[in-house]
């Protein structure tokens, strides 16, 4: 089974991690009423950007500030760097106003990756809550591009309402595949919604994966991840096969400034993706 | 009857229940089917039975004047629908509507309550199963109430 260090693929492999590179906005996509994606291309000589699913970048809106944003695009498409986020703070609100042709600063990629290598030969269950689908999307691209390497693949996705469901066109495309199981639920709905209503944890008992031979990857609000872990354990998944993506106030991206410290670990360099078994004790500590 | 016995014993809700109890429950069971859009339960009406869903999908919902239906929860194959038959005054508190063709086994609540009163061991087995369901639904409801995908969490 993978350890925390096994799952790292790109730990501070940058020569100048604090230097921002300019990227051009190719496309700004409005995903839902409050989330958007930016498709970026590097300016200058290199037009490639290599990253592993689960990693994040520090995005800098010039004159406003810098924020950590997960990469949500296809890792195989190195010339198209995609980030998805919600417009909630000053920086992301300014980012939401960017248009094609504008320039943005990028530092990264930082952090650990989802264990796509370790999951080969196993069933894979991905549990996403809200905007947590964005950091998991690169994993799905990877799994589907390497479909033969994995057993069953199931995506369980919970959103607040039908209007908050991210990447709807992509999800429709995935739903049409015979080798990919997808279950979506919303916390509340009205009108003509014919899908599931209820919390995402309730999809776990009915999802077709082998709990003894599977790797689970969870991304969403911490409280949703806590209850998801409990439900996976009930199904028989062992905690060393459960991975979670943590979020704190990441600033430097290289574990120096201490803003993202979670107990003994720094999320920007030791995470954001962790084997649950390695941080289980920190998960329920109120003081952290 | 033999078929109903097999269906009951294969439903997850009755997993592990002794065969003699399954035989006893067959007397309270009937096979039912609902068309898409058909109401299975109506708020305020007597809660006379509960349903083991075998196939299809059911929406539990309520109605608010001026707003229409508010969807609360979906139930699917392998799950059960309804526990108001267990709790006085035995009335449904919400509506339930089939979203697609839904097949289920209906268990007569009065009949079942009678059998549970006669045999406390059976009553305990049924209560244990409903307890687990009620606890799971309470937890899910708490999570729903927290609105965990909102900005405030």
Chain A nearest CA to B119, separation (Å): 31
Question: If pLDDT is split at 50, 70 and 90, which confidence band does B2 have?
Answer: low
In this complex, the residue of A86, A88, A224 whose CB is nearest that of residue B148 is A224
Q: Which region, left, alpha or beta, applies to residue A98 given φ > 0 means left and ψ of -120 to 50 means alpha?
A: beta
The model's pLDDT over B94-152, given as tens digits with 9 standing for 90+, comes to 999 999 999 999 999 999 999 999 999 999 999 999 999 999 999 999 999 999 887 65
Residue B45 belongs to domain with CATH number: 2.60.120.10
Q: Do A37 and A72 meet the contact criterion of CB atoms below 8 Å apart?
A: yes
Chain A residues near residue B67 by CB distance under 8 angstroms: 190
What backbone phi and psi angles, to 5 degrees, belong to A213? -135, 60
Domains of chain A: 21-110 (2.40.30.10), 123-283 (3.40.50.80)
Closest chain B C-alpha to A237 CA, distance in angstroms = 19
Residue in chain A nearest B133 by alpha carbon: A202
Residue B151 lies in a domain: no
B71 contact A CB<8A: yes
Pairwise CB contact (< 8 Å): B139 & A188: no
The answer to whether A129 faces chain B, any CB pair under 8 Å, is yes
**A189 to B71: CB separation less than 8 angstroms, yes or no:** yes
User: Does residue B15 belong to any structural domain of this protein?
Assistant: yes
Is B66 an 8 Å CB contact of chain A? no
Any B CB within 8 A of A279 CB:
no
Burial class from Cβ neighbours inside 10 Å (0-12, 13-18, 19+) for residue B131 reads: exposed
Distance (Å) from the C-alpha of residue A188 to the closest C-alpha of chain B?
6
pLDDT in tens, chain A (288 residues): 344 444 444 444 456 888 889 999 999 999 999 999 999 998 876 778 899 999 999 999 999 999 999 999 999 998 899 999 999 999 999 999 999 999 999 998 999 999 999 999 999 999 999 999 999 999 999 999 999 999 999 999 999 999 999 999 999 999 999 999 999 999 999 888 889 999 999 999 989 999 999 999 999 999 999 999 999 999 999 999 999 999 888 888 888 888 889 889 999 899 899 999 999 998 887 766
Q: How many CA atoms lie within 13 A of A280 on its CB side?
A: 14
Question: Which residues, at least 6 apart from A58, have a Cβ–Cβ distance to it below 8 Å?
Answer: A20, A66, A67, A68, A69, A106, A107, A108, A110, A250, A253
Residue A9 contacts B, CB cutoff 8 Å: no
Query: Model's pTM, two decimal places?
Result: 0.90
- Tell me if B72 and A185 make a contact (CB, 8 A cut-off): no
Whether this model's ipTM surpasses 0.95 comes out as no
Pairing of strands A21-30, B29-34: unpaired
Using alpha carbons, list the distances in angstroms from residue A89 to A35, A58, A65, A281, B1. Answer: 12, 15, 10, 30, 63
Chain B residues in contact with A208 (beta carbon < 8 A) = none
H helix runs in chain A, sequence order: 90-95, 133-145, 168-175, 222-235, 267-270, 276-283
Residue B150 inside a domain? The answer is no
Contact A112, A271 (CB under 8 A): yes
Q: Where are the beta strands (DSSP E) in chain A?
A: 21-30, 35-42, 56-61, 65-70, 81-86, 103-110, 123-129, 153-159, 181-186, 189-190, 196-197, 214-219, 242-245, 261-262, 265-266, 273-275
Full residue range of the structural domain in which residue B118 is found: 2-141
Q: Does B72 touch chain A (CB under 8 A)?
A: yes
Interface residue A208 vs chain B (CB under 8 A): no
Strand partners, A103: A24
Contact B144 A198 (CB under 8 A): yes
State pLDDT tens for residues B10-66.
Answer: 999 999 999 999 999 999 999 999 999 999 999 999 999 999 999 999 999 998 888
Do residues B47 and B85 lie in contact, with contact meaning Cβ atoms separated by under 8 Å?
yes
Packing angle between helix A168-175 and helix A133-145, nearest 10 degrees?
A: 40
pLDDT of residue A47: 74
Chain B neighbours among A 70-109 (CB < 8 Å)?
Answer: 86, 88
Q: Please count the other Cβ atoms lying within 10 Å of the Cβ belonging to residue B37.
A: 9
CB A125 within 8 A of CB A72: no
SS3 B143: helix
Task: Give the closest residue to A13 by CA, choosing from A239, A190, A253.
Answer: A253
**Residue A2 CB contacts under 8 Å (≥ 6 apart), including other chains:** A115, A117, A118, A275
Which pLDDT score is estimated for A4? 42
B153 within a domain of the structure (yes/no): no
Identify whether the C-beta of residue A156 lies closer than 8 Å to the C-beta of residue A183: yes
B149 within some domain: no
CB contact under 8 Å between A191 and B99, yes or no, is no
Which residues are A110's β-sheet partners?
Answer: A56
CB A58 within 8 A of CB A17: no
Q: Give the nearest partner residue to A187 out of B100, B136, B147, using CB atoms.
A: B147
Query: Which residues 155-194 on chain A approach chain B with CB closer than 8 angstroms?
Result: 158-160, 164, 185, 187-191, 193-194
Which of chain A's residues have a Cβ under 8 Å away from the Cβ of B78? 206
């Amino acid at each position: 089974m993978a350890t925390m260090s096994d799952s790292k693929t790109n730990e501070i492999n940058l020569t100048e991690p604090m230097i921002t590179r300019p990227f051009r906005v190719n496309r700004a996509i409005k995903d839902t009423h409050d989330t958007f994606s930016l498709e970026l291309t590097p300016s200058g000589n290199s037009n490639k950007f290599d990253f592993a699913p689960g990693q994040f970048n520090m995005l800098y809106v010039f004159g406003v500030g810098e924020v950590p944003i997960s990469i949500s695009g296809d890792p195989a498409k190195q010339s198209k760097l995609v980030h998805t986020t919600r417009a909630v703070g000053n920086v992301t609100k300014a980012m939401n106003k960017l248009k094609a042709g504008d320039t943005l600063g990028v530092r990264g990629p930082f952090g650990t990756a989802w264990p796509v290598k370790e999951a080969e030969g196993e069933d894979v269950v991905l549990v996403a809550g809200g905007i947590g689908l964005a950091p998991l999307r690169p994993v799905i691209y990877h799994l589907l591009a390497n479909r033969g390497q994995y057993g069953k693949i199931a995506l369980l996705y919970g959103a607040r309402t039908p209007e908050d469901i991210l990447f709807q066109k992509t999800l429709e495309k995935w739903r049409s595949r015979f080798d990919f199981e997808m279950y979506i639920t919303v916390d509340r709905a009205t009108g003509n919604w014919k899908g599931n209503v209820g919390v995402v944890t309730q999809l776990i008992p009915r999802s077709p994966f082998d709990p003894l031979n599977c790797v689970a990857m969870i991304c969403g609000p911490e409280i949703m991840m806590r209850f998801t872990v409990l439900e996976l354990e009930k199904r028989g998944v062992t905690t060393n096969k459960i991975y979670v993506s943590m979020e704190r106030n990441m600033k430097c991206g290289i574990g120096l400034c201490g803003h993202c410290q979670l107990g003994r670990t720094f999320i920007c360099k030791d995470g954001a993706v962790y084997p649950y078994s390695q941080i289980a004790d920190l998960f329920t500590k109120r003081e952290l | 009857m033999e078929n109903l016995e097999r269906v009951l014993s294969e439903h997850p809700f009755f997993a592990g229940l002794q065969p003699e109890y399954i035989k006893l429950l067959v007397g309270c069971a009937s096979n039912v089917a609902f068309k898409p859009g058909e109401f299975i339960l109506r708020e305020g009406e007597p809660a006379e039975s509960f349903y083991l869903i075998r196939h299809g999908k059911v929406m539990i919902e309520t109605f608010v004047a001026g707003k229409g239906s508010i969807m609360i929860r979906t139930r699917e194959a392998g799950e059960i629908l309804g526990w108001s038959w267990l709790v006085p005054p035995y009335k449904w508190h919400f509506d339930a509507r089939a979203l697609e063709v839904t097949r289920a086994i209906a268990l007569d609540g009065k009949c079942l309550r009678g059998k549970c009163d006669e045999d406390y061991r059976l009553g305990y087995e049924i209560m244990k199963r409903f307890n687990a369901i009620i606890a799971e639904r309470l937890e899910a409801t708490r999570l729903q109430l927290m609105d965990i995908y909102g900005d405030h969490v």
